[in-house]
Structure 1
Amino acid sequence: MAEAIHAGDAPKAVGSYPHARRAGDWLLLSGIGPRDPADDRIAGNVYAPDGSLQSYDIIAQCHAVFANVKAVLQAAGAGMHDLVDVTVYLTDMAADFAAYNRVWREYFPDPATAPCRTTLGITALPTPIAIELKCTAYLGK
């Protein structure tokens, strides 16, 4: 059985699943979004008085999602350098891809050592977030 990882420094799961599961030398992370672990707020979101989403800041959400991924990796004894594959879900590919790509380069400046990446444009995510990451890390040496 693969070991479940629950990270105290990452936001609580939106459903009934662990933050990650370790299977041998592999660490598979559940989808991670930019919610704040302390209060569940979403970085960069601005809400109208009726509670509807008025606008969001993709740069703030990108940095928040990377912080949450890092927290889950650290809970498993890993780091960002252990990532080998990342699937990126963006709710507005046309508006947000360039900004996301700039933030990605801050975390992974060297393409030779960066994880593989696939980016998908989707219509919605389960909460009012603009980005979610699905990551796989290799922990073998």
Structure 2
Amino acid sequence: MTSNGHAFLLNPDAVEGPTRSPQARSLPSNSRTIYISGIASVLPDGSVAGIVDGQVPDTAAVLDIIDKIVAGASGGKGSVANLIDAVVYLTEMERDYAGMNEEWNKVFASREVGPARATIGVKALPDPRFVVEVKAVAVAPE
């Protein structure tokens, strides 16, 4: 078991593709569930990470913010590694999916540790500077 429970794969012997998410995760009973609101890449100085040279640093910034949220909400017992489910919203799926996924895979190196995930293309996010928003659920030890 990893810090975010057990990964479930219908075909665990299948070759792992570019999207590193299991079909489901199951949780231990002695855990605290943390529901994380949609988080965009608003940095501490109020600026937005945005897109730089075709990459989506928004994703790295969002995952870093979520890491801090989970740590704070769990009294320091959890981190972004405790995500069990996530929904990623992208304003430009064709342009940004590969870059988002590349940044995502730096944090979640395999399906065994990645949360279940859906990625949805949307027309707009609350601020026109946002290109990605993530809503997630984490589980941390009590």
Q: How far apart are 1:81 and its partner, in Å? A: 1.8
- What letter matches 1:42 in structure 2? V
Aligned-residue CA RMSD in angstroms? 2.0
Residue identity (%): 30
Task: Give the paired residue count.
Answer: 108
Unaligned 5+ segments in structure 1 are 1-23, 46-54
Unaligned 5+ segments in structure 2 are 1-30
Quote the residue 2:56 is aligned against.
59
Quote the residue 1:41 is aligned against.
47
Please say if 1:26 is aligned against 2:33.
yes
Quote the residue 1:96 is aligned against.
96
Structure-1-length-normalised TM-score = 0.70
CA contact (8 A) 1:32 1:132 kept: yes
Structure-2-length-normalised TM-score = 0.69
Q: 1:73 to 1:65 in 2, by over 3 A?
A: same
Which of 131-140 and 27-36 deviates more? 131-140
**Alpha-carbon distance between aligned partners in 2 of 1:108 and 1:58, rounded to the nearest angstrom:** 18
Quote the residue 1:118 is aligned against.
118
Please say if 1:68 is aligned against 2:65.
yes
